[in-house]
Amino acid sequence: MGKLVQNSRNRTGDQKMIIPIRCWTCGKPIAHLWEKYKERTEKGENPKTVMDELSIERYCCRTMFLGQVDLLEIVSEFRKL
Residues within window 21-80 making contact with Zn ion, judged by CB under 5 A: 23, 25-26, 28, 58, 60-61
20 is a contact residue toward Zn ion (CB under 5 A): no
The residue count for binding Zn ion (CB under 5 A) is 7
> DSSP assignment of 34-71, as one string?
HHHHHHHHHTT--HHHHHHHTT--SHHHHHHHHTHHHH
CB of residue 69 to Zn ion, shortest distance in Å: 18
The answer to whether 80 touches 15, Cβ cutoff 8 Å, is no
Residue with Cβ nearer Zn ion (11 or 28): 28
Find out whether 5 and 39 touch, Cβ atoms under 8 Å: no
**Residues found near Zn ion in the complex (CB under 5 A):** 23, 25-26, 28, 58, 60-61
